[in-house]
Amino acid sequence: MIHSELAIAKDNGIKNDYRVNFELVNSKAYHDKFVGLTEHKALDEALYKQAAKMLEHRSGTEYEDIAMLDARTGKFIVGNDKASGDIKFKCGLRDEQIEKLNSSGKNFEILHNHPSSSIPSTDDIKWLFKRDKAIGSTIICHNGSIYSLRKIKALSNPDEVIDTVYNKIKEIYPSWSKEQVEYVTVKEIINRLEHSGHIKYIFK
What pLDDT digit, counting tens, does each position of 67-82 carry? 999 999 999 999 999 9
pLDDT of 2 reads 43
Residue 165 lies in a domain: no
**What CATH number should be reported for the domain holding residue 30?**
3.40.140
3-state DSSP call for residue 68? strand
Residue 182 lies in a domain: no
Q: What is the pLDDT of residues 130-181, one digit of tens each?
A: 999 999 999 999 999 999 999 999 999 999 999 999 999 999 999 999 999 9
- What is the residue type of 5? E
How many domains, in total, are found in the chain? 1
Q: Residue 162 contacts by C-beta under 8 Å, 6 or more apart in sequence?
A: 122, 125, 126, 185, 189
Residue 32 lies in a domain: yes
Q: Residue 20 contacts by C-beta under 8 Å, 6 or more apart in sequence?
A: 9, 11, 55, 56, 58, 59, 60, 142, 144
| Helix, strand, coil % in the chain, rounded to nearest 5 | 40, 20, 45
pTM: 0.95
Residue 5 binned pLDDT confidence (cut-offs 50, 70, 90): confident
Residue 43 lies in a domain: yes
Q: What is the pLDDT of residues 72-119, one digit of tens each?
A: 999 999 999 999 999 999 999 999 999 999 999 999 999 999 999 999
Residue 83 lies in a domain: yes
Distances (CA, A) of 135 to 8, 24, 122: 27, 27, 17
Helix axes 158-172, 178-195, angle to 10 degrees: 130
Residue 29 lies in a domain: yes
Residue 120 lies in a domain: yes
Provide the domain limits for residue 102: 22-154+199-203
Residue 115 lies in a domain: yes
Residue 135 per-residue DSSP state: E
Q: What is the pLDDT of residues 31-50, one digit of tens each?
A: 999 999 999 999 999 999 99
